[in-house]
A = this chain, B = another copy of it.
């Protein structure tokens, strides 16, 4: 936790360290950590030539998309910021008003499901993977504007069945978890 009352130079150094550690911190999160305004963080980033979050995410995601076999890149809901095929993956979804219920501004369950489900598919090391079963739990409402981090882990593979556990976080708080069983088809599809 950065200390209060840092000089600008100290803050900028600390800011670089923090982003090296977690490139997906938002300006709001950084502002909170340093107890300065979001505007101050933006100016710091500009001086340090650190691009905005969306650009940082895209830059990291680029190299992961090349690894994906089972799903089209545009079909992944969120940006894929980490991927070890057949093992684990991480995606980030910046939620928007369009994803939320008009009445409550709470993000609609299907968008969080879509992030988790598409990540579960993306981590599978096969040409085609379809969701068979999912047991999911919404633990806490997510409001539009929040940045969701989904972490998927392949926990077991039995023949063509892939068990994937996905947790979705809003900052440190787990807001969703789901157990998925996916079925891989390597030769293509005929039904």
Contact = CB atoms under 8 A, between A and B. Distances in A.
Interface string A73-117: 001010000000000000000000000011110101110011001
- The 10 A-B residue pairs whose C-beta atoms are closest, nearest first, are A110-B114, A109-B131, A104-B189, A72-B102, A135-B135, A134-B136, A133-B137, A141-B191, A113-B113, A131-B138
B103 A128 contact: yes
Q: How many copies does the complex hold?
A: 2
A140 interface: yes
A42 B71 CA distance: 38
A118 interface: yes
B132 A71 contact: no
Interface of A: 71-72, 75, 77, 101-104, 106, 108-110, 113-114, 117-118, 127-128, 130-138, 140-141, 143, 188-189, 191
B109 A128 contact: no
Contact of A117 (B109, B118, B191): B109
A108 B75 contact: yes
Nearest to A128: B104
A106 B191 CA distance: 10
B189 A110 contact: no
